[in-house]
Amino acid sequence: MPSTDAAQVPVREARSKGADFARTPEFEWLARAGLVARGVIYAIVGVLAIQVAFGSGGKTTSQQGALAEISRQTAGEALLVLMAVGLAGYSIWRLLRAALGHGPEASDDTKERIAGLASGIAYGILCVTTISILVGSGGGSGGSPDKATGGVLDWPAGQVLVIIAGIVLFVVAGEQAYKGLTRKFLEQSKTERMSKGTEKAFTVLGVVGHLSRTVVFGLIGYFLINAAVDYKPKESVGLDGALSALAQASYGPVLLGIVAAGLIAFGAYSMADARYRRV
């Protein structure tokens, strides 16, 4: 019977190879390309929401919808290829950081590793969505959140699972608010390489962007919990539904415009972060 040490050899070798890959220039470029891709998606979502707020005939959309919007542009297929590469890079970077607990320039605590795992999976799904759009098997929305939630509600303990998902999103919203208000996100950036003007602009974009994501994640969490408690899956929504709900509220267009501008700011922050992030 093999010893415990012998059984752990493949694991140690895999971690060693992963650590070696994380130190390569190619991996760094993949990570930074991923941050740009994330920024582009948020900027498109924000721009479309701004159009709704000002009544110019647009409609709110999700991250998957933003990818579909890219596909409709001139040279859309080429842009989607670049987005797929970037999203794959971002996903791999987050997953590898979650596994290793560090990169060539920074280390993560347990909470950050868990967040990295969730983020890596989410953006991996977006990468698959991008590829499916490229090959013609994907539409725009990447599936209905209502139907997905409705399906989970029919599982054993489904209501509990959906409520837990909503609570998790509230926690994520709180974390985004904490990062924005305390400017903790600056700890992950090479502010020493910025001029005073660049650092000021970068900080403003980061604060506004993180607070806008707080609102969006909080709304999605609320709708999920509400759908589970009342067993109304049609009331559960994703990013597009949360933005639509803002538009329908009192002073909705104003609120939607503010949040949409914040999402654009987060997109710009993410693109700037691609240059200054400690990967």
Q: What is the pLDDT of residues 177-206, one digit of tens each?
A: 999 999 999 998 999 999 999 999 999 999
Helices 63-71 and 25-53, interaxial angle, to 10°? Answer: 90
Which residue range forms the structural domain that includes residue 53?
A: 4-276
Domain count, the chain: 1
Q: What percent of the chain has pLDDT over 70?
A: 80
Higher pLDDT, 88 or 20: 88
State the Cα torsion 89-90-92-97 to the nearest 10°.
130
Backbone angles phi, psi at 238, to 5 degrees: -95, -155
Q: Which helix (H) or strand (E) holds 163?
A: helix 158-182
Higher pLDDT, 269 or 278: 269
Higher pLDDT, 29 or 204: 204
Higher pLDDT, 138 or 216: 216
- The confidence band for 101, taking pLDDT boundaries of 50, 70 and 90, is confident
Contacts of 228 (CB under 8 A, 6+ apart): 149, 153, 158, 159, 160, 162, 163, 166, 236
pLDDT (tens digit, 9 = 90+) per residue, 200-235? Answer: 999 999 999 999 999 999 998 888 888 888 776 666
> In whole angstroms, what is the distance from residue 132 CA to residue 146 CA?
21
